[in-house]
Homo-oligomer: A and B are copies of this chain.
Amino acid sequence: MAFSRAEAYAPASVANLGVGFDILGMALEGMGDRAIVEFQDSPEIVITDIQGDGGKLPRDPGLNVASVSARALLDQVGEKRGLKMKLIKGLPLASGLGSSAASAVVAVVALNKLLDEPFARQDLLPFCLEGEALVSGYHADNVAPSLLGGIILVAGITVDAIQFLPIPDELHLALATPAVQVPTNGAREILPKQISLKTMIHQSGAVAQLVDALHRGDLKALGAAMEKDKVIEPARAFLMPMLDEVRARAKQAGAISVFIGGAGPTLCAVCDRQSVAEATVSAMKSVYSEVGMRCDARSVRVDRRGAIVLDAR
């Protein structure tokens, strides 16, 4: 069946989950990007419109993650036609919520539908990575969950490095995104280049505990493991305003742990039920409002679907 227009949605995601730097990511419900793609006879990709980015994203198709990802897929299948692409950003930029990954994924999933689905969902990963690499390097820890949903272990950038991890039934998250920007690449540059063997052993043990806790559905153990990071959070903490205070107040409200979403500044609190997640959202918000800082906060659950096609005709 031939389509001339397709629309897709890709969810937000948070990478790292504390101690799982560059190897763990989780898709989030209720927030995401949309893209609409249409064939055009001329071979180039034209970004006709971007909504919701405050004019900040590049309209140049060679510089925008959505069009670069779509280009990789067009080239792979040898499609001669070009695209008109419209992007509707539901995710804030440079927030730690996987905004660039969602844009890369949503464009590729929409285009794959337009092409009548030459690729199975997971096999779209390499194309999405081409776009994501523009802003974050070749990392699949946001792209894979945004594409596939769930909590994902990505021990590499190939499809066979992807493993779905169990999603504890009770897992709820409280998210707070203060109005400060943390560029992903800048946040990477401040990390230590070398770490001690002793620290590596510590991090390995904590990652092992985290994965084990997910399998056992033990949220307390999960939260404890997440917060054991001695490498990434200590280096980045100074970029996260009010981190200690948010963590303390979230826990007073009943949250189990708080970790930095990706490169931040979004802070994510692990909660074991909806009521606690809502109380934690209020607690986190109030920390920022007390210092006069704007903050978007909400409670969410894990997105289990990943990216979806909304419409094709």
Contact = CB atoms under 8 A, between A and B. Distances in A.
Given A153-B212, A163-B212, A20 B195 contact: no
A23 interface: yes
Given A194-B194, A197-B231, 7 more contacts: A21-B204, A23-B205, A163-B212, A193-B197, A194-B195, A208-B211, A215-B215
Contact of A197 (B191, B201, B205): B191
Given A193-B197, A195-B194, A156 B203 contact: no
A165 interface: yes
A206 interface: yes
Given A194-B196, A196-B194, A212-B215, A204 B201 contact: no
A78 interface: no
Interface string A215-250: 100000100000000010000000000000000000
A271 interface: no
A156 B205 contact: yes
Contacts of A207: 204, 207-208
Nearest to A153: B208
User: What 5 A-B pairs come out closest when comparing CB atoms?
Assistant: A155-B205, A215-B215, A23-B205, A211-B211, A194-B194
Interface residues of A, number: 37
A200 B199 CA distance: 9
Most B-side CB within 10 Å, residue of A23, A154, A200, A204: A204
Interface in A140-179: 153-156, 161, 163, 165
A24 interface: yes
Interface in A27-42: none
A192 interface: yes
A231 B197 CA distance: 9
Contacts of A23: 201, 204-205, 208
Contacts of A156: 205
B153 A231 contact: no
Given A197-B231, A203-B200, A209 B163 contact: yes
A193 B194 CA distance: 10
A79 B165 CA distance: 49
Interface in A1-24: 19-24
Contacts of A203: 200, 204
Contacts of A155: 202, 205-206, 208-209
